[in-house]
Amino acid sequence: MTFLGIPTASSTGHLRAPRTFPEAAHDALGNAQLRRNLGDATATIRAKRAGVVAELPDWEQLRAAGAAIKDETLAHLDEYLIQLEEQVTERGGVVHWARDADEANRTVVELVRAAGADEVVKVKSMATQEIALNEALADAGITALETDLAELIVQLGHDAPSHILVPAIHRNRSEIREIFLREMAGVDPALTDDPRALAEAARTYLRRKFLSAQVAISGANFAVAEAGTLCVFESEGNGRMCLTLPRTLITVMGIEKLVPTWRDLEVFLQTLPRSSTGERMNPYTSMWTGATEGQQFHLVLLDNGRTATLADPHGRSALRCIRCSACLNVCPVYERTGGHAYGSVYPGPIGAVLSPQLTGVEHNPTLPFASSLCGACFDACPVAIDIPSMLIHLRAQVVDAKREAHHTPTPEAAIMAAAAWTMNRPRWWARGLRAARLSRFVRRRRALPPPLSAWTASRDLPDPPRETLRDWWQREGGVQ
Amino acid sequence: MNEGAATSAREEILSRIRTALGDRPSPAPVARDYRVAGSVPADVEQFVDRLVDYRATVHRCGSDEPALRLKEILDARGVPRLVVPDGFPPAWLPAASLVTEPVSTETLDEVGAVLTTCALAVAETGTIVLDAGPGQGPRALTLVPDYHLCVVRADQVRAIVPDAVAELDPRAPLTWISGPSATSDIELRRVEGVHGPRTLDVLIVG
- Could you tell me the sign of the dihedral formed by the alpha carbons of A41, A44, A46, A49, in that order? negative
Q: To the nearest whole angstrom, how far is the Cα of B45 from the nearest Cα of chain A? A: 16
pLDDT at residue A11, as a whole number: 59
pLDDT at A59 over 90: yes
* Closest among A419, A307, A323 to A360, alpha carbons compared: A307
Q: Which amino acid is at B172?
A: A
Instruction: Report the percent of chain A where pLDDT is more than 70.
Output: 89
Give the max Cα distance, chain B.
Answer: 68
pLDDT, one tens digit per residue, over A157-186 is 998 888 877 788 888 899 999 999 999 988
Q: To the nearest whole angstrom, how far is the Cα of A215 from the nearest Cα of chain B? A: 16
Q: Which residues of A touch B26 (CB under 8 A)?
A: 75
pLDDT at B104 over 80: yes
Residues A337 and A20: their CA atoms lie apart, in Å, by 13
8 Å CB contact of B178 and A279: yes
pLDDT at B16 over 70: yes
Interhelix angle A387-406/A348-359, rounded to 10 degrees, is 40
Residue of chain B whose alpha carbon sits nearest to that of A79: B14
Listed by number, the residues of chain B in 17-46 with a beta carbon closer than 8 Å to a beta carbon of chain A are: 17-23, 25-37
pLDDT at A443 over 60: no
Give the pTM: 0.88
CB A371 within 8 A of CB A362: no
Mean pLDDT of A6-26: 78
Residue of chain A whose alpha carbon sits nearest to that of B29: A68
CB A274 within 8 A of CB A280: yes
Q: To the nearest whole angstrom, how far is the Cα of A65 from the nearest Cα of chain B? A: 6
Q: Which residues of B touch A195 (CB under 8 A)?
A: 186-187, 189, 191
pLDDT at B40 over 90: yes
Q: Which residues of B touch A282 (CB under 8 A)?
A: 178
Q: Which amino acid is at B135?
A: G
8 Å CB contact of A269 and B6: no
Q: To the nearest whole angstrom, how far is the Cα of B7 from the nearest Cα of chain A? A: 8
Name which of B3, B12, B183, B202 to mutate to probe chain A: the one with the most chain A Cβ atoms within 10 A of its Cβ.
Answer: B183
pLDDT, one tens digit per residue, over A201-240 is 999 999 989 999 999 999 999 999 999 999 999 999 999 9
Indicate whether this complex's ipTM tops 0.90: yes
pLDDT at residue A3, as a whole number: 44
Mean pLDDT of A398-406: 84
pLDDT, one tens digit per residue, over A333-390 is 999 998 889 989 999 999 999 999 999 999 999 999 999 999 999 999 999 999 999 9
pLDDT at residue A27, as a whole number: 87
Q: What Rg value do the Cα atoms of chain B yield, rounded? A: 21
Q: Which residues of A touch B6 (CB under 8 A)?
A: 96-97, 107
pLDDT at A1 over 50: no
CA dist list (Å): A56 to A212, A284, B4, B129: 43, 21, 50, 21
CB A15 within 8 A of CB A364: yes
Residues A185 and B93: their CA atoms lie apart, in Å, by 42
Cis before A161 (ω within 30) = no
Higher pLDDT, A479 or A127: A127
CB A265 within 8 A of CB B147: no
Residues B80 and B201: their CA atoms lie apart, in Å, by 16
pLDDT band at residue B27 under the 50/70/90 scheme: very high
Residue of chain A whose alpha carbon sits nearest to that of B36: A266
- Which uninterrupted H or E stretch holds A52? helix A32-54
Listed by number, the residues of chain B in 128-167 with a beta carbon closer than 8 Å to a beta carbon of chain A are: 132, 138-140, 143-144, 160-162, 165-166
pLDDT at residue A165, as a whole number: 76
CB A287 within 8 A of CB A229: yes
Beta strands across the sheet bearing A284-289: A258-259, A222-224, A229-234, A284-289, B174-177, B127-130, B120-122, B157-158
pLDDT at residue B125, as a whole number: 98
CA atoms within 13 A on the CB side of B86: 6
pLDDT at residue A448, as a whole number: 67
What value does the mean pLDDT of chain A take?
89
Q: Which residues of B touch A99 (CB under 8 A)?
A: 9, 12-13
Runs of H (alpha helix) within A338-425: 348-359, 376-380, 387-406, 411-423
pLDDT band at residue B123 under the 50/70/90 scheme: very high
